[in-house]
A and B are shown apart, each in its own frame.
Chain A
Amino acid sequence: MKRLTLLLAAVLMAGCATKAPRETAAGETAVAVDVDYATPVQAIAGYEFGQPREPLTLVEDIVRDALHDPAHTRAAEAALLELLDHPSATHAAKLFACRQLAFVGGSDTVDALAPWLESEATSDAARLALERIPGEDVDKVLLKALKEADDSSQIGIINSLGVRRAACAEKTLDELSRSINPAIAGAAADALAKIRG
């Protein structure tokens, strides 16, 4: 396994150029890295369930290896976020990208996935990434999305706020715990119990 990974990585690196610096959503300038994250990530844009999994495993490998260095983590994140915007990326490919963003996602991921929270079709996928990203910015995005999200997505968002012990959501959750929708009221009460300890 390791030998194949190294061979594939060598092939990718042989064909890549150093990436130009890029400004992130946080206003920082991304540091160039010497690993091509874009090519293997773009290669899975057409993935459908049941197809050979090796191209996904390769992306898992490079995401794992990116964790050793913040610049590499940001570069891997950027490649995965580009996949989410790919015009012909399948739902399965985007779901996979969200799962990988759980490991390397940062502030750019928070911005990119915020709109995904509002729709039942994409909300759970977004939370796969967002729930694992530390920091209050995620809490604020989850809280903001509550207002726009459909009922089904609201419950998942409330659950994530509870898991994250998001103190900023306490007031809103307190109101929602009195919702006429029992499912939302119950979720909000459980989340409040977690936040209040």
Chain B
Amino acid sequence: MGHVSKERGAGRGLSRREFLKRAATASTVAAASPYIIPASALGADGTTAPSNRIVMGCIGVGSQGTSNLKWFLGNNDTQFVAVCDVDGTHRERAQQIVNETYGNTDCKGYNDFRELLERDDLDALSIAVPDHWHAIPAIAGAKKGLDMYAEKPLSLTIPDGIAMVEAVEGAKVVWQTGSWQRSNSHFREACEIVRSGRIGEVHTVEVGLPTGSPIEAQPPMPIPEGFDYEMWLGPAPEAPYTEKRCHWNFRWILDYSGGQLTDWGAHHCDIANWGMDTEDTGPISVEGVGNFPREGLWNTATDYQITARYGKGQSSVSPNGFTMKVANTATYPMGAKFIGEKGWVFVTRGDRKKNLQTYPESLKDTAIGDNDVKLYRSPDHARNFLDCVKSRKETITPIRVAHRAISIAHLGNISMRLGRAIEWDPVKQRLVNDPAAERFFDRAKRGPWRL
């Protein structure tokens, strides 16, 4: 296939990672040879030689996972060899996409991610599974020494996230979270304006996220042919199959996710942290109020308002502390708005002209100079991951950053479900003297699953 084992390769004795790193920076030398070697094997004509490609597997190829797969396939230095999904329809579709790309039938399909991880030819994984499944394959991948691009929100619970960070950082593998907004330049520009002090001390950040939706009660249904529902449930509590429970809609059920608050909080709370320089800390108190559907299958909050307070010295942009307010679009427009003493900056998705707004307006085109804060530049989120696999540098959304962003949303959900404010120690990452809130902090996993 073109995978270079740890024993072979351009440098005998080099590890696979070292080989990829050197190949990324080495110039191409055409060797004199009596054999005819296809140009693609030598990396000519814009292709990358198979031995220089990052060998990847996918765990989870539903809608987001397939989108990510196609994104990666658009880079000529990847080689997908395996896809895994508990839904046979998704799995076969992904295999077909890979095989059509390469013009062969080499891509292997797996139902069980553990079997995929037994392969010894992988360099990296693309993971896109429901939130309740985020931790287990990520930790397993780290133990195998595999670099990973994995979807947001990072985790289902804060303890899951802490374990994931420990595993990934301990294994020193490259991690990119699917919080791709950072790789859109106008989000970076917005944060540079804030971090460079152009709006003065920031006292409030307003984060707008989508409103959730309820659904009526859903009857148990026969499990579709080829869908390993028992594996899909995995560590989550037993529940009968019904169509609106699974695939995209797991997001609206607390057993598997945290609703719009976590699904989109992973994006815009991350931008809020980036702008406020709070990527390695967290709030000291959180108070949430919300409406949870009283009926029907979906039970995550539809309307919600979370107030997260940060103390003195936690943010370089707010020496006196600040408040992050996260709410659905009944309260704030989608995006992040940084409000300071001297103005404000608002940023959301879409074209820069309309979706990066400042007051005063002139701030928008302010030049970020050598004495200002210049943030990480990434031209493309998948490309950034691949480049970092080769360079072994940190990506633009490393795991610890994703963990802190989603912790805000997790604390918001705990506060809402408890019906009152909670205090948080962002250094120890523990609730402060709150036995009742502790009961909501984590949840037992169904056997045999564990971190």
Contacts and interface: CB of A to CB of B under 8 A. Distances in A.
Interface string B225-263: 000000000000111101000000000000000000000
A37 B239 CA distance: 25
Contacts of A64: 417-419
A124 B447 contact: yes
A28 interface: no
B436 A53 contact: no
Contact of A99 (B237, B418, B419): B237
A163 B444 contact: yes
B446 A156 contact: yes
Contacts of A127: 444, 447
A26 interface: no
B376 interface: no
B99 to A, nearest CB: 34
Given A53-B294, A54-B295, A67-B436, A128 B443 contact: yes
Contacts of B444: 102, 124, 127-128, 130-132, 160, 163
Given A51-B217, A57-B294, A64-B418, A156 B237 contact: no
A53 B242 CA distance: 15
Contact of A152 (B237, B239, B447): B447
Contacts of A124: 237-238, 444, 446-447
Interface string B429-451: 00000011011101111111110
A134 B438 contact: yes
A51 B102 CA distance: 49
Contacts of A65: 419
A95 interface: yes
A57 B254 CA distance: 13
Nearest to A154: B447
Nearest to A5: B294
Given A159-B445, A159-B447, A128 B237 contact: yes
Contacts of B299: 53
A82 interface: no
A163 B446 CA distance: 13
A52 B295 contact: yes
A156 B448 contact: yes
Contacts of B448: 152, 155-156, 159, 183, 187
Contacts of B450: 159, 162-163, 187, 190
Interface in B266-295: 291-292, 294-295
A4 interface: yes
Interface in A138-181: 152-153, 155-157, 159-160, 162-163
B237 A95 contact: yes
Contacts of B435: 134
Nearest to B420: A68
Interface in A47-65: 49-54, 57, 64-65
Contacts of A187: 448, 450
Contacts of B295: 52-54, 57
Interface string A106-135: 000000000000000001110110111010
Interface of B: 217-220, 237-240, 242, 291-292, 294-297, 299, 417-419, 435-436, 438-440, 442-450
21 contacts: A1-B292, A50-B217, A50-B218, A53-B294, A54-B294, A57-B294, A65-B419, A67-B436, A99-B237, A103-B436, A123-B447, A124-B237, A124-B447, A127-B444, A131-B442, A131-B443, A132-B442, A132-B443, A160-B444, A163-B450, A187-B450
